[in-house]
Structure 1
Amino acid sequence: MSDPWDGPAGQATRSRGRRVPGQRTAGQGEARPPGGRVVAARGRGGKSSGPVRPMGRGRRLLRTAAMCLSVLVVVTAGAGWWFYQHLNGNIRSFSLDGKGGTEKADAFGRTPINILVMGSDGRTSKTDCKLGGGCSATGVQTGSNADVQMVLHISADRSNATVMSIPRDTMTKVPACKDGESGRSTPGYYGQINSALQYGPACQVATVHQLTGIPVDHFVKLDFSGVVKMSDAVGGVSVCVSDDVYDTYSHLKLSKGTHTLKGVAALEFVRSRHGFGDGSDLGRTVSQHIFLSAMIRKFKSAGTLTDPTAVYRLSDAATKALTVDDGLDSVKKLIALADDVNKVPTRRITFATMQTAPDPADDDRVVVGAGAKALFSTIAEDQPLTTGAGKKSSASSATTKATATATATASAVPASDIAVTVENGTGITGRASAVATALTGRGFGSAGTGNAPSPVTATTLTYGTGQQAAARTVATALGLPAARLRQGPGSGLTLVVGSDWPSGSSYRAASTASPADTSPADTSPADTEAAVSEAHASTADQAKSCAKVSPYKTVTLDGVPMTPAQAYAAARTQPDSDA
């Protein structure tokens, strides 16, 4: 029996008096011709709104694309947020507790930045034990020394920067410190400067601030594995060595010429102290400057900071590699710092090593040299070591000669052996105390402060019999011209601050900024020749500089003393570091 709804041909038929199930009537807004196709749709009031066509293929594609784009935006935003949080989570930070001093803004309200960059020798993880060695008997260790110390100064106007290395073998006073994390503390002592890190990063910062008088607002610390990560992330750093070199202690082995160093090879290069210079830490600072200059050029090179993959590698590696103060404890803050550094042209980034003198008590240690005071003062007073063209700044010949003579004569008188009485002749409350504090911050002693008998216009430094050399040391540290030194009938040193020095801790900076005293010696530019004398100064744009391999027998191979070049020739089976 056939289905009552189907005709012989299987098409739907209408039965009088009945409705086909599910079929709308005309009153329901649609009229169907035979076959059921919709020919019109009724709008309000029963009027037709025109034919309804099927959605075109193009419109379907557009709607699909819009949906995919929306999903992509949501996913990208989520990934970006995850990446940002991931990087922030990598960063480890500590508070400085104000131990590094505070920078002062310039006349336009701009503030310089001073950062202590530290390279730790700590073997506080299995990775660092493997990279640094020395853990075979002790295993993973606690505590570390700051074997690399560099003060990075970025000027208030971001037009120039200075990187000053402090040799790790420098002997100095370490102030009373307590490490908030480990609880280790010290009442203070006289010792090697790099040891202060054992009492926390803030202690190392405080020690550098006390030694140099330079306010240090931030710190950045890397360990062995951090150097490896950073050099890998940047794609390797190109360096040049002047001769074949094999440092049997750091294991650096390179042939004469240019090499691109990554990972462990980069670490071997920056750790090598027996391979370069005289085999001491002084030679190592110079080779480190060459390495950092090349890394800066690589960062600034076309493509490095515009390649998303490279930026990710750098960001991830940097945040994992660095320990910082709480003023740099976020990706946003680190990006702002990187932007400040990026504003400075490479020709105006100056590298220098703090001038030193042999320690009378230990031939293997050094003390601050007299020339270092000029370098400290230049940085503390935010004065550039290069001109706008990237050349070394120069002073008038008279000032240069006077300072050079003072430096040579005063080299045997350390600041710690000199006490100065400071008198205020300006009429400005607190001037004597401010200058006295600046002097003690630079290592000098204090014989008291007070008011001058009467107001004075010109600042003078009076010294007693046999104390001319000491007076010149003080004058060099303060930027006081030799013409302002006077020999008096009494003993000791007395500095009378005149109205020509109304503010600041450097006479040179004040006299340059003020027309109060117009004598040629007082209005000359900063004497940067004294600041960079014997400081192995270089700029970051010097791409052709090669690390000077030591000509001395600074290494041993199979118990035989050799030069690094001789060791390279003898160690034929030892692969090169960049092999």
Structure 2
Amino acid sequence: MSDPWGEARGRAATRARSAARDRSGVRDRSSSVPHQRHADDGGPRRASHGGRAATRQAAHSRGRRANRRARPAARRRRRIARIALFTVSALILVTAGAGAWLYEHLNGNINSVSLDGKGGQEKADAFGRTPINLLVIGSDGRNNAADCKLGGGCGSASSTAGHNADVEMVVHVSADRSNATVMSIPRDTMTEVPACKDPDTGQSTSGFHGQINSALQYGAACQVDTVHQLTGITIDHFVMLDFAGVVKMSDAVGGVSVCVSDNVYDTYSHLKLSKGSHTLKGKAALEFVRSRHGFGDGSDLGRTVSQHLFLGAMIRKFKSAGTLANPAKVYSLADAATKALTVDTGLGSVSKLVGLATDLNKVPSKRMTFTTMQTGADPTNPDRVVPAAAAKTLFATIANDQSLTSSSGKKKAATSASPSPVATVPASEVAVEVENGTTTPGRASAIAQALTAKGFSRNTTTGNAPEQSSKTTITYGPGQKAQAQTAAAALGVPASHLTQGGTAGVVLVIGSDWTSGTAYTSSGDSSSGPADTHAAIADAHAQTADKAKSCAKVSTYKTVQINGVPMTPAQAYAAATTKKDSAP
């Protein structure tokens, strides 16, 4: 049964709500059917809206918690990054500071001396490259406590009055850095020492004929100039070591391995070694390189050969990976070298010394040739020597940048050369008129002095040529060819430079192809061709630096003595039972 009032009231209420909805534009969902339908359909939608909000709220909460956790981690990462950056920066600064300190420290060790252009000037090859010619000097001075103790003779007048060049080696590195030659000049060589003055001591000389090693008393530049004049080889640089320097260098590389052919005891240098191989350090190394009575014929010639073996072993040690790859050894070597060396100003910094070492290191050991200048007995003193004729060819190979080995390290075959004439008239019967055809002052005097020192007539004269000459020539009068040949042979002037004139006398005109030295080397003279490399090493005791198994030949002569009794070095070794060996 229905209630009419109720229906009416429902319709009125519906109309009222509809009117209200129309007026407000908002639908009243509380009682309409659609509202119910929405209620049925919209329930889940309202639940969905509530889920997203809850999800956002949860996510927000999780984010806050994650942010709270992430912020300390981020701060830690930033802090670690700052610490790392600071540490790296500090390391860079410390390393740079240490490097700068080390560089200045090593630079401060170096003692340098100016050459003042004494050694001449190199000529570049077709590619603009220049060779390096370095004079290595071993000083026998005892002008400080260390050298005095090592060298002996402390306190005597002779031990402290100047010093001589105990060792002289011309080290030539080719322009292309593919090969090198090391030529020893015996200290007993007689030659012309030019006018010199030591800038440090003020000691000076107007020039004299004497032993080549004595030039060092007037400064290292004087020694360089003397070698330059004797050989005609341009000398770019020098390095000089004293007794203490040899000790420091041998210790810095951890010792140098050498071999001796027999038991040896040199009672002068105090070297005492048993037959076989030894590693020499410190004083033992110095005793070995100074020993002149223990090896060869007991003279300075035998000593140069043993020195070459020592240097070859040291070079191999330098090149070994164990030395160059070890920072401690490299520093020790650099520190010892800079403290031990006196050099010219052209090498007076660590960077320049490193550059020189780099150039030397480019040359393979098998293409480093050690030689000794060929000599003959000095006619005025049997205890002294003079350069032999063959030495002029050896000088020429160095001056002309010719290698003495092939690419395989073997000795080169002979090359064609224009030889000097053979002397057929005694020098004492030949007077030469020497004329300077160059712009270099004093050339005529230097050559004239060299001639008279070789025994030429005292009637030899000097003067200036009527005009400058590009080529050195010897002109002779009718019937005087033999005299001209004697002069040419003494000076090393090729036969192609001799011509006959119409006036009596032998006239030597010095050309611009010979601006230095007293031995003509054909440097820059294409007409004479290359030097004979086979002749250059004849009787020069040539050997290469890679010969690790070579032994120093102990002298078989009675070159030493014990208690006044002459003995061979091997006999002295057997007799000196209480003398401790220099090395195990």
Query: Residues of 1 paired with 2:297 and 2:431: CA distance?
Result: 31
Instruction: Give the structure 1 partner of residue 251 of structure 2.
Output: 232
Check 1:469–1:321 CA distance in 2 against 1; reply closer, same or farther (3 A cut). farther
Instruction: Give the structure 1 partner of residue 534 of structure 2.
Output: 529
How do 1:140-539 and structure 2 match up within 5 A? 141-396=160-415, 399=417, 406=421, 419=432, 440=447, 443=450, 449-450=465-466, 463=476, 465=479, 468=482, 471=485, 474=488, 480=494, 482=495, 491-493=504-506, 507=522, 510-511=525-526, 525-539=530-544
SS at structure 1 position matched to 2:531: coil
| Higher mean displacement: 349-358 or 261-270 | 349-358
Would the aligned equivalents of 2:215 and 2:223 in 1 still touch at CA under 8 Å?
yes
Task: Encode CA deviations 1:39-71: one digit per residue, 9 max, x unaligned.
Answer: 969xxxxxxx99862126666545433332222
| Higher mean displacement: 336-345 or 468-477 | 468-477
Query: Residues of 2 paired with 1:396 and 1:213: CA distance?
Result: 21
SS at structure 2 position matched to 1:304: helix
Check 1:54–1:159 CA distance in 2 against 1; reply closer, same or farther (3 A cut). same
Would the aligned equivalents of 2:474 and 2:484 in 1 still touch at CA under 8 Å?
no
Would the aligned equivalents of 2:432 and 2:508 in 1 still touch at CA under 8 Å?
no
- In the TM superposition, residue 153 of structure 1 has moved relative to its aligned partner by 1.4
SS at structure 2 position matched to 1:273: coil
AA partner of residue 341 (structure 1):
L
Query: Residues of 1 paired with 2:523 and 2:99: CA distance?
Result: 50
- In the TM superposition, residue 142 of structure 1 has moved relative to its aligned partner by 4.6
User: Of 103, 125, 132, which aligns to 1:106?
Assistant: 125
User: Gapped runs of 5+ residues in structure 1?
Assistant: 1-36, 42-48, 424-429, 513-521
Check 1:420–1:269 CA distance in 2 against 1; reply closer, same or farther (3 A cut). farther
How do 1:40-51 and structure 2 match up within 5 A? none
Q: TM-score, normalised by structure 2?
A: 0.77
Q: Normalized per residue, which structure has more helix? A: 2
SS at structure 2 position matched to 1:55: helix
Check 1:396–1:139 CA distance in 2 against 1; reply closer, same or farther (3 A cut). closer
| Higher mean displacement: 356-365 or 555-564 | 356-365
SS at structure 1 position matched to 2:72: coil
Would the aligned equivalents of 1:346 and 1:540 in 2 still touch at CA under 8 Å?
yes
| Higher mean displacement: 207-216 or 133-142 | 133-142
Query: Residues of 1 paired with 2:446 and 2:207: CA distance?
Result: 20
Would the aligned equivalents of 1:373 and 1:476 in 2 still touch at CA under 8 Å?
no
- In the TM superposition, residue 502 of structure 1 has moved relative to its aligned partner by 13
Matched, 1:553 2:558: yes
Task: Encode CA deviations 1:300-332: one digit per residue, 9 max, x unaligned.
Answer: 122311211111011000000000111111001
Check 1:508–1:439 CA distance in 2 against 1; reply closer, same or farther (3 A cut). farther
Check 1:357–1:411 CA distance in 2 against 1; reply closer, same or farther (3 A cut). farther
Check 1:510–1:196 CA distance in 2 against 1; reply closer, same or farther (3 A cut). closer
Check 1:366–1:412 CA distance in 2 against 1; reply closer, same or farther (3 A cut). farther
AA partner of residue 300 (structure 1):
K
Query: Residues of 1 paired with 2:93 and 2:359: CA distance?
Result: 32
AA partner of residue 474 (structure 1):
A
User: Gapped runs of 5+ residues in structure 2?
Assistant: 1-60, 452-459
Query: Residues of 2 paired with 1:107 and 1:91: CA distance?
Result: 35
Instruction: Give the structure 2 partner of residue 55 of structure 1.
Output: 73
Aligned length: 510
Check 1:346–1:139 CA distance in 2 against 1; reply closer, same or farther (3 A cut). same
Query: Residues of 2 paired with 1:469 and 1:278: CA distance?
Result: 36
- In the TM superposition, residue 470 of structure 1 has moved relative to its aligned partner by 5.6
Check 1:447–1:270 CA distance in 2 against 1; reply closer, same or farther (3 A cut). same
Q: TM-score, normalised by structure 1?
A: 0.78
Query: Residues of 1 paired with 2:102 and 2:230: CA distance?
Result: 40
SS at structure 2 position matched to 1:371: helix
Query: Residues of 1 paired with 2:576 and 2:269: CA distance?
Result: 15
Instruction: Give the structure 2 partner of residue 562 of structure 1.
Output: 567
Matched, 1:68 2:87: yes
Which structure has the bigger radius of gyration?
2
Check 1:396–1:159 CA distance in 2 against 1; reply closer, same or farther (3 A cut). closer
Query: Residues of 2 paired with 1:303 and 1:310: CA distance?
Result: 9
